[in-house]
A and B are shown apart, each in its own frame.
Chain A
Amino acid sequence: MSPQVSIDEDVCIGSGTCVQIAPAVFELSDEGVAQVIDPNATELADLHRAEDSCPVAAISVEDE
Protein backbone atom coordinates (compact mmCIF):
# COMPACT_ATOMS: atom_id res chain seq x y z
CA MET A 1 0.00 0.00 0.00
CA SER A 2 1.29 3.43 -0.82
CA PRO A 3 2.18 5.81 2.01
CA GLN A 4 -0.22 8.56 3.05
CA VAL A 5 1.53 11.91 3.22
CA SER A 6 -0.36 14.91 4.52
CA ILE A 7 0.57 18.50 5.28
CA ASP A 8 -1.22 20.68 7.78
CA GLU A 9 -1.47 23.85 5.68
CA ASP A 10 -2.39 26.01 8.66
CA VAL A 11 0.85 25.00 10.33
CA CYS A 12 3.28 24.97 7.37
CA ILE A 13 5.54 28.03 7.23
CA GLY A 14 7.10 27.19 3.88
CA SER A 15 10.63 26.55 5.15
CA GLY A 16 11.17 24.30 2.12
CA THR A 17 13.00 21.67 4.15
CA CYS A 18 10.82 18.89 2.77
CA VAL A 19 11.35 20.12 -0.79
CA GLN A 20 15.10 19.92 -0.25
CA ILE A 21 14.90 16.35 1.02
CA ALA A 22 12.33 14.99 -1.43
CA PRO A 23 11.85 17.39 -4.36
CA ALA A 24 9.85 14.81 -6.33
CA VAL A 25 7.31 14.50 -3.52
CA PHE A 26 6.90 18.04 -2.22
CA GLU A 27 6.69 21.46 -3.80
CA LEU A 28 6.03 24.94 -2.49
CA SER A 29 2.91 26.69 -3.75
CA ASP A 30 2.93 30.36 -4.79
CA GLU A 31 1.72 31.16 -1.27
CA GLY A 32 4.76 29.43 0.18
CA VAL A 33 2.90 26.41 1.54
CA ALA A 34 4.18 22.88 0.91
CA GLN A 35 2.06 20.53 -1.15
CA VAL A 36 2.34 16.84 -1.96
CA ILE A 37 2.80 16.16 -5.68
CA ASP A 38 3.51 12.42 -5.58
CA PRO A 39 3.86 10.46 -2.32
CA ASN A 40 5.29 7.48 -4.23
CA ALA A 41 8.14 9.37 -5.86
CA THR A 42 10.74 8.44 -3.28
CA GLU A 43 11.71 5.88 -0.65
CA LEU A 44 9.71 5.65 2.56
CA ALA A 45 12.87 6.49 4.51
CA ASP A 46 13.08 9.84 2.73
CA LEU A 47 9.44 10.56 3.53
CA HIS A 48 10.13 9.94 7.20
CA ARG A 49 13.23 12.09 6.99
CA ALA A 50 11.12 14.93 5.58
CA GLU A 51 8.54 14.37 8.31
CA ASP A 52 11.19 14.53 11.04
CA SER A 53 12.98 17.52 9.58
CA CYS A 54 9.94 19.79 9.23
CA PRO A 55 10.67 22.65 11.64
CA VAL A 56 7.03 23.10 12.55
CA ALA A 57 5.98 19.42 12.52
CA ALA A 58 3.41 20.00 9.77
CA ILE A 59 4.04 16.74 7.83
CA SER A 60 2.59 13.40 8.73
CA VAL A 61 3.48 10.13 7.01
CA GLU A 62 1.38 6.99 7.50
CA ASP A 63 2.75 3.84 5.92
CA GLU A 64 0.40 1.08 7.03
Chain B
Amino acid sequence: MAAPERVVIVGGGVAAQRCAFALRKRGFDGELTMISAEAEPPYDRTLLSKDMLRGARGEPCVPLQPQAAYAERAVDLRLATKASGLDVKAQRVALSDGTELDYDRLVICSGGRPVLPAALHCPGVLLLREVTDLEALQAKFADARRLAIVGGGFIGGEVASSAVSRGLEVTLIEAASQPLAAVLGEEVGARVAALHREKGVDVVAGAAVEGIAARDGGFELTLAGDRLLQADGVVVGVGMTPAVDWVEGCEIRIDDGIVTDANCRTEAHNVLAAGDCARWWNPRYETLMRVEHWDTAARHGAAAAAGVLGYDEPFAPVPFFWSDQHGVKFQSVGYAPDWDEIELEDGEVPGSFVARYRTQDRLVAAFAAGQPKTIARARKDIQASGRQEVEA
Protein backbone atom coordinates (compact mmCIF):
# COMPACT_ATOMS: atom_id res chain seq x y z
CA MET B 1 0.00 0.00 0.00
CA ALA B 2 1.33 3.41 -0.96
CA ALA B 3 2.33 5.74 1.84
CA PRO B 4 -0.38 8.34 2.47
CA GLU B 5 0.14 11.85 1.20
CA ARG B 6 -3.09 13.41 2.44
CA VAL B 7 -4.47 12.68 5.89
CA VAL B 8 -7.76 14.13 7.10
CA ILE B 9 -8.71 13.93 10.78
CA VAL B 10 -12.32 14.63 11.64
CA GLY B 11 -12.59 15.83 15.22
CA GLY B 12 -11.37 18.52 17.56
CA GLY B 13 -10.89 16.64 20.81
CA VAL B 14 -7.86 15.07 22.41
CA ALA B 15 -7.86 11.98 20.16
CA ALA B 16 -7.74 14.15 17.04
CA GLN B 17 -5.07 16.44 18.47
CA ARG B 18 -2.85 13.57 19.62
CA CYS B 19 -3.27 11.84 16.28
CA ALA B 20 -2.16 14.93 14.34
CA PHE B 21 0.85 15.61 16.55
CA ALA B 22 1.88 11.95 16.64
CA LEU B 23 1.77 11.81 12.83
CA ARG B 24 4.21 14.71 12.59
CA LYS B 25 6.40 13.35 15.35
CA ARG B 26 6.68 10.07 13.48
CA GLY B 27 7.76 11.79 10.32
CA PHE B 28 4.59 12.15 8.27
CA ASP B 29 5.24 15.15 6.01
CA GLY B 30 2.20 15.15 3.74
CA GLU B 31 -0.93 17.29 3.90
CA LEU B 32 -2.60 17.12 7.29
CA THR B 33 -6.03 18.62 7.87
CA MET B 34 -8.06 18.64 11.09
CA ILE B 35 -11.79 19.37 10.94
CA SER B 36 -13.28 20.54 14.24
CA ALA B 37 -16.92 21.51 14.79
CA GLU B 38 -15.88 23.63 17.76
CA ALA B 39 -14.71 27.22 17.54
CA GLU B 40 -11.82 26.74 19.99
CA PRO B 41 -8.63 24.83 19.19
CA PRO B 42 -8.59 21.47 21.05
CA TYR B 43 -8.78 22.07 24.80
CA ASP B 44 -8.77 20.11 28.01
CA ARG B 45 -12.34 18.85 28.27
CA THR B 46 -11.76 17.19 31.64
CA LEU B 47 -11.37 20.57 33.31
CA LEU B 48 -14.80 21.84 32.22
CA SER B 49 -16.69 20.04 34.97
CA LYS B 50 -13.85 20.54 37.45
CA ASP B 51 -11.68 23.69 37.72
CA MET B 52 -13.59 25.66 35.08
CA LEU B 53 -16.99 25.20 36.62
CA ARG B 54 -15.65 25.96 40.08
CA GLY B 55 -14.24 29.17 38.64
CA ALA B 56 -10.77 28.14 39.76
CA ARG B 57 -9.07 29.37 36.59
CA GLY B 58 -9.52 32.64 34.79
CA GLU B 59 -9.65 31.60 31.13
CA PRO B 60 -12.69 29.95 29.49
CA CYS B 61 -10.75 26.80 28.63
CA VAL B 62 -7.21 25.44 28.67
CA PRO B 63 -5.88 24.68 25.16
CA LEU B 64 -3.98 21.40 24.73
CA GLN B 65 -1.45 23.21 22.57
CA PRO B 66 -1.12 26.87 21.67
CA GLN B 67 -2.64 27.67 18.28
CA ALA B 68 0.83 28.43 16.89
CA ALA B 69 1.84 24.80 17.48
CA TYR B 70 -0.54 23.69 14.71
CA ALA B 71 0.95 26.12 12.21
CA GLU B 72 4.48 25.10 13.23
CA ARG B 73 3.61 21.50 12.37
CA ALA B 74 1.76 22.44 9.18
CA VAL B 75 -1.53 21.17 10.57
CA ASP B 76 -4.39 22.82 8.70
CA LEU B 77 -6.77 23.23 11.66
CA ARG B 78 -10.22 24.18 10.40
CA LEU B 79 -12.39 25.30 13.30
CA ALA B 80 -16.18 25.70 13.43
CA THR B 81 -16.41 23.31 10.50
CA LYS B 82 -18.35 20.07 10.50
CA ALA B 83 -17.85 16.97 8.42
CA SER B 84 -21.25 16.39 6.89
CA GLY B 85 -20.77 13.41 4.63
CA LEU B 86 -18.37 10.74 3.53
CA ASP B 87 -17.82 8.92 0.24
CA VAL B 88 -15.59 5.96 1.05
CA LYS B 89 -15.19 4.89 -2.59
CA ALA B 90 -14.08 8.31 -3.79
CA GLN B 91 -12.16 8.83 -0.49
CA ARG B 92 -13.75 12.21 0.02
CA VAL B 93 -15.24 14.06 3.00
CA ALA B 94 -17.93 16.73 2.56
CA LEU B 95 -17.75 19.71 4.89
CA SER B 96 -20.37 22.07 6.30
CA ASP B 97 -18.82 25.03 4.45
CA GLY B 98 -19.76 23.37 1.15
CA THR B 99 -16.23 22.25 0.26
CA GLU B 100 -14.91 18.72 -0.06
CA LEU B 101 -11.61 17.15 0.94
CA ASP B 102 -9.91 14.18 -0.72
CA TYR B 103 -7.90 11.90 1.54
CA ASP B 104 -5.52 8.98 1.37
CA ARG B 105 -6.30 8.17 5.01
CA LEU B 106 -9.23 9.42 7.06
CA VAL B 107 -9.20 9.27 10.86
CA ILE B 108 -12.60 9.70 12.47
CA CYS B 109 -12.36 11.16 15.97
CA SER B 110 -15.78 12.78 16.04
CA GLY B 111 -16.30 11.99 19.71
CA GLY B 112 -19.64 11.83 21.44
CA ARG B 113 -22.54 13.94 22.51
CA PRO B 114 -24.48 13.88 25.75
CA VAL B 115 -27.67 11.85 25.79
CA LEU B 116 -30.94 13.64 26.56
CA PRO B 117 -33.76 11.10 27.00
CA ALA B 118 -37.22 12.19 25.81
CA ALA B 119 -38.55 12.35 29.39
CA LEU B 120 -35.97 15.03 30.21
CA HIS B 121 -36.69 17.27 27.24
CA CYS B 122 -37.56 20.75 28.43
CA PRO B 123 -36.26 24.09 27.17
CA GLY B 124 -33.53 25.39 29.45
CA VAL B 125 -32.28 22.00 30.65
CA LEU B 126 -28.47 22.03 30.50
CA LEU B 127 -25.89 19.48 29.37
CA LEU B 128 -22.11 19.61 29.71
CA ARG B 129 -19.66 18.48 27.07
CA GLU B 130 -18.19 21.53 25.35
CA VAL B 131 -16.93 24.91 26.39
CA THR B 132 -20.09 26.53 25.00
CA ASP B 133 -22.14 24.38 27.41
CA LEU B 134 -19.94 25.60 30.23
CA GLU B 135 -20.84 29.24 29.60
CA ALA B 136 -24.56 28.47 29.98
CA LEU B 137 -23.92 26.45 33.11
CA GLN B 138 -21.80 29.19 34.69
CA ALA B 139 -24.55 31.70 34.00
CA LYS B 140 -27.00 29.35 35.73
CA PHE B 141 -24.64 28.97 38.69
CA ALA B 142 -24.60 32.75 39.02
CA ASP B 143 -28.37 33.25 39.25
CA ALA B 144 -29.82 29.94 40.51
CA ARG B 145 -30.36 29.00 44.14
CA ARG B 146 -31.56 25.41 43.75
CA LEU B 147 -29.91 23.14 41.18
CA ALA B 148 -31.19 19.68 40.26
CA ILE B 149 -28.70 17.31 38.66
CA VAL B 150 -30.07 14.28 36.86
CA GLY B 151 -27.57 11.42 36.81
CA GLY B 152 -25.14 10.46 39.57
CA GLY B 153 -22.24 9.53 37.29
CA PHE B 154 -18.93 11.33 37.12
CA ILE B 155 -20.15 14.42 35.28
CA GLY B 156 -23.14 14.72 37.62
CA GLY B 157 -20.94 14.23 40.65
CA GLU B 158 -18.42 16.84 39.51
CA VAL B 159 -21.14 19.37 38.70
CA ALA B 160 -22.69 18.73 42.14
CA SER B 161 -19.31 19.22 43.78
CA SER B 162 -18.67 22.49 41.93
CA ALA B 163 -22.21 23.75 42.59
CA VAL B 164 -22.16 23.24 46.39
CA SER B 165 -18.75 24.88 46.54
CA ARG B 166 -20.38 27.90 44.88
CA GLY B 167 -23.12 27.96 47.51
CA LEU B 168 -25.99 26.40 45.57
CA GLU B 169 -28.56 24.03 47.06
CA VAL B 170 -27.97 20.85 45.09
CA THR B 171 -30.10 17.75 44.60
CA LEU B 172 -28.39 14.86 42.81
CA ILE B 173 -30.90 12.41 41.36
CA GLU B 174 -29.83 8.89 40.47
CA ALA B 175 -32.12 6.22 39.01
CA ALA B 176 -30.05 3.31 40.38
CA SER B 177 -29.90 2.37 44.06
CA GLN B 178 -26.63 4.29 44.52
CA PRO B 179 -24.62 6.67 42.34
CA LEU B 180 -22.12 4.73 40.19
CA ALA B 181 -23.51 1.40 41.42
CA ALA B 182 -23.53 -0.06 37.90
CA VAL B 183 -19.83 0.60 37.31
CA LEU B 184 -18.37 0.37 40.81
CA GLY B 185 -20.84 -1.69 42.83
CA GLU B 186 -23.30 -0.83 45.61
CA GLU B 187 -20.81 -0.48 48.43
CA VAL B 188 -18.50 1.92 46.62
CA GLY B 189 -21.51 3.84 45.30
CA ALA B 190 -22.75 4.22 48.86
CA ARG B 191 -19.40 5.70 49.89
CA VAL B 192 -19.53 8.21 47.04
CA ALA B 193 -23.10 9.11 48.07
CA ALA B 194 -21.96 9.54 51.67
CA LEU B 195 -19.24 11.99 50.56
CA HIS B 196 -21.82 14.01 48.62
CA ARG B 197 -24.17 14.14 51.62
CA GLU B 198 -21.37 15.11 53.99
CA LYS B 199 -20.62 18.07 51.72
CA GLY B 200 -24.26 19.16 51.62
CA VAL B 201 -25.57 17.56 48.44
CA ASP B 202 -29.05 16.04 48.76
CA VAL B 203 -28.65 12.65 47.07
CA VAL B 204 -31.91 11.10 45.90
CA ALA B 205 -31.14 7.57 44.71
CA GLY B 206 -33.42 4.91 43.31
CA ALA B 207 -35.52 7.64 41.70
CA ALA B 208 -35.89 7.85 37.94
CA VAL B 209 -36.95 11.24 36.59
CA GLU B 210 -40.18 10.78 34.65
CA GLY B 211 -40.65 14.30 33.40
CA ILE B 212 -39.47 17.90 33.58
CA ALA B 213 -41.73 20.92 33.09
CA ALA B 214 -41.06 24.65 33.07
CA ARG B 215 -42.78 26.19 36.10
CA ASP B 216 -42.75 29.75 37.50
CA GLY B 217 -39.52 30.69 35.78
CA GLY B 218 -37.90 27.47 37.00
CA PHE B 219 -38.45 23.75 36.65
CA GLU B 220 -40.57 21.05 38.22
CA LEU B 221 -39.24 17.51 38.04
CA THR B 222 -41.50 14.51 38.45
CA LEU B 223 -39.69 11.58 40.02
CA ALA B 224 -40.82 7.96 40.16
CA GLY B 225 -43.59 7.59 42.75
CA ASP B 226 -45.03 11.00 41.80
CA ARG B 227 -42.59 12.87 43.98
CA LEU B 228 -42.17 16.46 42.80
CA LEU B 229 -39.02 18.53 43.00
CA GLN B 230 -38.60 22.25 42.26
CA ALA B 231 -35.37 23.75 40.96
CA ASP B 232 -34.11 26.95 39.34
CA GLY B 233 -31.81 25.00 37.05
CA VAL B 234 -31.48 21.43 35.78
CA VAL B 235 -28.33 19.75 34.54
CA VAL B 236 -28.51 16.34 32.89
CA GLY B 237 -25.56 13.95 32.90
CA VAL B 238 -26.88 10.51 32.00
CA GLY B 239 -24.26 9.38 29.54
CA MET B 240 -23.14 10.01 26.00
CA THR B 241 -23.61 8.53 22.59
CA PRO B 242 -21.03 8.31 19.77
CA ALA B 243 -21.34 11.23 17.33
CA VAL B 244 -21.32 9.08 14.21
CA ASP B 245 -24.62 9.95 12.53
CA TRP B 246 -22.71 11.73 9.74
CA VAL B 247 -21.20 8.43 8.55
CA GLU B 248 -24.34 6.31 8.83
CA GLY B 249 -25.04 4.50 5.56
CA CYS B 250 -21.39 4.82 4.47
CA GLU B 251 -20.38 1.14 4.46
CA ILE B 252 -18.76 1.62 7.85
CA ARG B 253 -19.79 -0.81 10.56
CA ILE B 254 -21.44 1.01 13.44
CA ASP B 255 -22.43 -0.88 16.57
CA ASP B 256 -22.36 1.38 19.61
CA GLY B 257 -19.57 3.31 17.88
CA ILE B 258 -17.48 2.79 14.77
CA VAL B 259 -16.10 -0.73 14.92
CA THR B 260 -12.37 -1.12 14.25
CA ASP B 261 -9.62 -3.69 14.59
CA ALA B 262 -6.75 -3.35 17.08
CA ASN B 263 -4.93 -1.01 14.68
CA CYS B 264 -7.88 1.43 14.56
CA ARG B 265 -8.87 0.37 11.03
CA THR B 266 -12.55 0.32 10.12
CA GLU B 267 -14.01 -2.02 7.51
CA ALA B 268 -13.90 0.81 4.96
CA HIS B 269 -10.68 1.09 2.99
CA ASN B 270 -8.28 3.72 4.40
CA VAL B 271 -10.68 4.87 7.11
CA LEU B 272 -9.62 4.68 10.74
CA ALA B 273 -11.36 5.72 13.95
CA ALA B 274 -10.28 6.56 17.50
CA GLY B 275 -11.54 8.10 20.72
CA ASP B 276 -15.05 8.21 22.19
CA CYS B 277 -16.68 7.43 18.82
CA ALA B 278 -14.75 4.19 18.24
CA ARG B 279 -15.32 0.66 19.47
CA TRP B 280 -12.09 -1.17 18.89
CA TRP B 281 -10.74 -4.66 19.42
CA ASN B 282 -8.60 -4.52 22.54
CA PRO B 283 -6.29 -7.55 22.35
CA ARG B 284 -5.48 -7.28 26.07
CA TYR B 285 -9.07 -8.18 26.92
CA GLU B 286 -9.93 -9.89 23.63
CA THR B 287 -13.11 -7.90 23.27
CA LEU B 288 -14.53 -4.89 21.45
CA MET B 289 -14.43 -1.90 23.80
CA ARG B 290 -15.62 1.66 23.69
CA VAL B 291 -14.16 3.70 26.53
CA GLU B 292 -15.26 7.26 27.23
CA HIS B 293 -12.18 8.28 29.22
CA TRP B 294 -9.82 11.12 28.41
CA ASP B 295 -6.70 9.07 29.04
CA THR B 296 -7.83 6.33 26.65
CA ALA B 297 -8.90 8.83 23.97
CA ALA B 298 -5.50 10.54 24.06
CA ARG B 299 -3.61 7.27 23.66
CA HIS B 300 -6.09 6.08 21.07
CA GLY B 301 -5.35 9.11 18.89
CA ALA B 302 -1.63 8.32 18.97
CA ALA B 303 -2.39 4.67 18.15
CA ALA B 304 -4.43 5.77 15.14
CA ALA B 305 -1.41 7.73 13.89
CA ALA B 306 0.56 4.47 13.93
CA GLY B 307 -2.30 2.81 12.04
CA VAL B 308 -2.28 5.58 9.42
CA LEU B 309 1.42 5.03 8.82
CA GLY B 310 0.95 1.27 8.51
CA TYR B 311 2.69 0.21 11.71
CA ASP B 312 1.36 -2.85 13.47
CA GLU B 313 1.02 -1.46 16.98
CA PRO B 314 -2.15 -2.94 18.48
CA PHE B 315 -3.93 -0.59 20.87
CA ALA B 316 -4.17 -2.53 24.13
CA PRO B 317 -4.51 -0.07 27.00
CA VAL B 318 -5.64 -0.71 30.54
CA PRO B 319 -8.48 1.82 30.96
CA PHE B 320 -7.88 4.59 33.46
CA PHE B 321 -9.94 7.53 34.64
CA TRP B 322 -10.12 10.08 37.37
CA SER B 323 -12.66 12.43 38.85
CA ASP B 324 -12.40 15.29 41.34
CA GLN B 325 -15.33 15.62 43.72
CA HIS B 326 -15.46 17.73 46.89
CA GLY B 327 -11.68 17.97 46.97
CA VAL B 328 -11.25 14.18 46.82
CA LYS B 329 -9.53 12.64 43.83
CA PHE B 330 -11.14 9.43 42.58
CA GLN B 331 -8.97 7.30 40.36
CA SER B 332 -9.75 4.04 38.67
CA VAL B 333 -7.64 1.60 36.74
CA GLY B 334 -8.55 -1.64 35.01
CA TYR B 335 -11.48 -3.18 33.22
CA ALA B 336 -14.17 -4.95 35.20
CA PRO B 337 -17.52 -5.28 33.43
CA ASP B 338 -18.27 -7.66 36.31
CA TRP B 339 -16.33 -9.15 39.21
CA ASP B 340 -16.39 -11.96 41.74
CA GLU B 341 -15.57 -9.88 44.79
CA ILE B 342 -14.69 -6.38 45.92
CA GLU B 343 -12.20 -5.87 48.73
CA LEU B 344 -12.56 -2.50 50.46
CA GLU B 345 -9.76 -1.02 52.49
CA ASP B 346 -9.79 2.31 54.32
CA GLY B 347 -6.85 4.66 54.01
CA GLU B 348 -5.13 6.64 56.76
CA VAL B 349 -6.76 9.92 55.77
CA PRO B 350 -10.45 9.93 56.80
CA GLY B 351 -12.66 9.28 53.78
CA SER B 352 -9.87 7.80 51.68
CA PHE B 353 -10.25 4.19 50.58
CA VAL B 354 -9.41 1.71 47.88
CA ALA B 355 -11.68 -0.92 46.34
CA ARG B 356 -10.01 -3.86 44.61
CA TYR B 357 -12.07 -5.81 42.10
CA ARG B 358 -11.11 -9.44 41.67
CA THR B 359 -12.15 -12.12 39.23
CA GLN B 360 -10.96 -15.65 39.92
CA ASP B 361 -8.55 -14.29 42.54
CA ARG B 362 -6.96 -12.00 39.98
CA LEU B 363 -6.90 -8.21 40.44
CA VAL B 364 -8.76 -6.80 37.42
CA ALA B 365 -9.52 -3.25 38.54
CA ALA B 366 -9.07 -0.82 41.42
CA PHE B 367 -10.93 2.32 42.40
CA ALA B 368 -9.51 4.65 45.02
CA ALA B 369 -10.47 7.85 46.75
CA GLY B 370 -7.48 10.01 47.69
CA GLN B 371 -4.87 7.27 47.25
CA PRO B 372 -2.79 7.94 44.13
CA LYS B 373 0.12 5.75 45.22
CA THR B 374 -2.16 2.77 45.70
CA ILE B 375 -3.57 3.32 42.22
CA ALA B 376 -0.08 3.59 40.70
CA ARG B 377 0.81 0.23 42.28
CA ALA B 378 -2.46 -1.37 41.17
CA ARG B 379 -1.86 -0.19 37.62
CA LYS B 380 1.56 -1.87 37.57
CA ASP B 381 0.05 -5.10 38.91
CA ILE B 382 -2.80 -5.09 36.40
CA GLN B 383 -0.55 -4.25 33.46
CA ALA B 384 1.90 -6.98 34.43
CA SER B 385 -0.82 -9.59 34.83
CA GLY B 386 -2.14 -8.99 31.32
CA ARG B 387 1.17 -8.56 29.56
CA GLN B 388 1.95 -12.15 28.65
CA GLU B 389 -1.27 -12.59 26.73
CA VAL B 390 -0.83 -9.29 24.90
CA GLU B 391 2.73 -9.91 23.86
CA ALA B 392 2.22 -13.55 22.99
Contact = CB atoms under 8 A, between A and B. Distances in A.
B25 interface: yes
Given A13-B298, A52-B372, 12 more contacts: A11-B379, A14-B64, A15-B44, A31-B21, A32-B21, A53-B329, A55-B331, A56-B331, A57-B373, A57-B379, A60-B373, A60-B376
Interface of B: 21, 25, 44, 46, 62, 64-65, 294-295, 298, 320, 322, 329, 331, 370, 372-373, 375-376, 379
Contacts of A54: 372
Judged by DSSP, the binding face of A is loop
A60 B372 CA distance: 10
Interface residues of A, number: 17
A57 B25 contact: no
Given A13-B294, A31-B25, A56 B322 contact: yes
A27 interface: no
Contacts of B64: 14, 32
Give the 9 A-B CB pairs with smallest separation, nearest first. A57-B372, A57-B376, A55-B322, A57-B375, A13-B298, A13-B295, A52-B372, A56-B295, A57-B331
A53 B227 CA distance: 40
A17 B211 CA distance: 40
Nearest to A8: B376
Contacts of A31: 21, 25
A31 B25 CA distance: 9
Nearest to A59: B372
